[in-house]
Amino acid sequence: MKIGQGYDVHRLEEGRRLILGGVTIPWSRGLAGHSDADVLLHAVMDALLGAAGLGDIGMHFSDEGDTWRDADSLELLRRVAGLLGQNGIRIENIDATLIAQAPKLSPYRDEMRWNIAVALQIETECVNIKFTTEEGMGFTGRGEGIAAMALCLLS
């Protein structure tokens, strides 16, 4: 058994779509980044790659050049699943937390869980997602960005 942890954060800005867990969420701002800036999926990928001893998303999907510009993070997650499969690694579970003052994200939990499970070819019950605010404190509390943390167990 191997445990991995991942963390990601992106700044919020006007003129971008807000995509979290592969779900486009209607809101006035989105996350800035080289790809679609899906902090939840980026944290999950880093947790999986770290536990497997396969580096991190920057090694596999560099933000230098245009290869991964505006990339769909669900597609990147499917590629990570392929790497794990090639190495005979099974995902036991994923537990993730999104940290955002706004918008309210709980209505999208089931769709996010389903997207992650399908991309990784695991049962939805193996994916848990929680949401929290920072009660107005820090950059997420001030609405400047959104952060995500993820843990995984591999065998």
Nearest to 154 by CA among 22, 38, 43, 5: 5
Q: Residue 44: its pLDDT value, please?
A: 98
| Angle separating helix axes 73-86 and 109-120, nearest 10 degrees | 40
DSSP character string of 130-142: EEE--TT-HHHHT
- The CA distance from 64 to 66, in Å, is 7
Domain spans, the chain: 2-154
Residue 60 near residue 123, CB atoms below 8 Å: no
Tens place of pLDDT for every residue, the chain, 155 residues? Answer: 999 999 999 999 999 999 999 999 999 999 999 899 999 999 999 999 999 999 999 999 877 877 777 789 999 999 999 999 999 999 999 999 999 999 999 999 999 999 999 999 999 999 999 999 999 999 999 999 999 999 999 99
- The CA distance from 84 to 122, in Å, is 12
Threshold 0.75, pTM exceeds: yes
Q: What is the CA radius of gyration of the chain?
A: 15
For the domain made up of 2-154, the CATH class stated in words is alpha beta
Q: Residue 19: its pLDDT value, please?
A: 98
